[in-house]
Amino acid sequence: MSKLLNYSLRKILICAGIVLVLSIPIYYFAISRLWQYEMDEHNVMLTTEAAREDSFLIIGAVTLLSVIFFIFLLGALIVMNRILSKKMWQPFYESLAEIRAFNLNQPHDIRFKKTGITEFDDLNTSLEKLLTANINIYNQQKEFADNASHELQTPLAVVQSKLDLLSQSEQLSDAQFQLIEEALLALSRVSRINKNLLLLTKIENSQFADKEQVNLSAALEELLSQLSFYFEEKELSLHLDITPGVMVEGNRILLEILLGNLLTNAVRHSSTPGEVHLSLHAGYISIKNSGKTPLLEEQLFKRFAITSSTTSGSGLGLALIKQISGRYGWKVEYKFESGFHVFRIGF
Partner 1 sequence: MKILIIEDEPELAKSIAVYLREEGYSCDFAADYDEALEKIRACNYDCILLDIMLPGGNGLAIVEELKQLKKDAGTIIISAKNSLDDRIKGLHLGADDYISKPFYLSELSARIFSVIRRRQLGNVNIIEQNELKVDVLGKEVTIHDKPVLLTKKEFGLLLLLISNANRVLSKAALAEHISGAGVVDFDSYDHVYAHIKNLKKKLHDGGCGNYLRTIYGTGYKWEI
Q: By CB under 8 A, name the binding residues for partner 1.
A: 150, 153-154, 156-162, 164-165, 167-168, 172-174, 177-178, 180-181, 184-185, 187-189, 191-192, 195-196, 198, 202, 207, 223, 226-227, 229-230, 233, 253, 256-257, 260-261, 263-264, 268, 312-314, 317
Which residue's CB is nearer to partner 1, number 27 or number 231?
A: 231
DSSP 112: P
The least distance separating partner 1 from the CB of residue 105, rounded to whole angstroms, comes to 20
The secondary structure of 204-244 as a DSSP string is HTT-----EEEEHHHHHHHHHHHHHHHHHHTTEEEEEEE-T
Angle at 314 between CA 310 and CA 317, to 5 degrees: 115
Which residue's CB is nearer to partner 1, number 262 or number 332?
A: 262
CA distances from 12 to 2, 5, 17, 56, 76 (A): 15, 11, 9, 30, 12
The least distance separating partner 1 from the CB of residue 343, rounded to whole angstroms, comes to 17
Distance CA 145, CA 136 (A): 14
Which residue's CB is nearer to partner 1, number 51 or number 223?
A: 223
The least distance separating partner 1 from the CB of residue 321, rounded to whole angstroms, comes to 12
Q: What are the phi and psi torsion angles at 165 (to 5°)? A: -65, -40
The least distance separating partner 1 from the CB of residue 326, rounded to whole angstroms, comes to 19
Distance CA 301, CA 323 (A): 9
Distance CA 322, CA 316 (A): 10
Which residue's CB is nearer to partner 1, number 9 or number 219?
A: 219
CB 14 within 8 A of CB 6: no
Distance CA 111, CA 125 (A): 9
Which residue's CB is nearer to partner 1, number 91 or number 315?
A: 315
Which residue's CB is nearer to partner 1, number 8 or number 312?
A: 312
Which residue's CB is nearer to partner 1, number 115 or number 261?
A: 261
CB 344 within 8 A of CB 281: no
CB 217 within 8 A of CB 243: yes
Which residue's CB is nearer to partner 1, number 91 or number 313?
A: 313
The least distance separating partner 1 from the CB of residue 259, rounded to whole angstroms, comes to 8
The least distance separating partner 1 from the CB of residue 203, rounded to whole angstroms, comes to 12
The alpha-helical segments, DSSP class H, found in the chain are 4-41, 48-88, 90-101, 118-167, 174-204, 216-233, 252-269, 297-300, 317-327
Q: Residue 255's closest CA among 193, 146, 345, 145?
A: 345
The least distance separating partner 1 from the CB of residue 224, rounded to whole angstroms, comes to 10
The least distance separating partner 1 from the CB of residue 176, rounded to whole angstroms, comes to 8
Which residue's CB is nearer to partner 1, number 274 or number 317?
A: 317
Distance CA 221, CA 238 (A): 12
Indicate the SS3 state at residue 191.
helix
The least distance separating partner 1 from the CB of residue 195, rounded to whole angstroms, comes to 6
Pairing relationship of beta strands 247-250 and 212-215 according to DSSP bridges: antiparallel
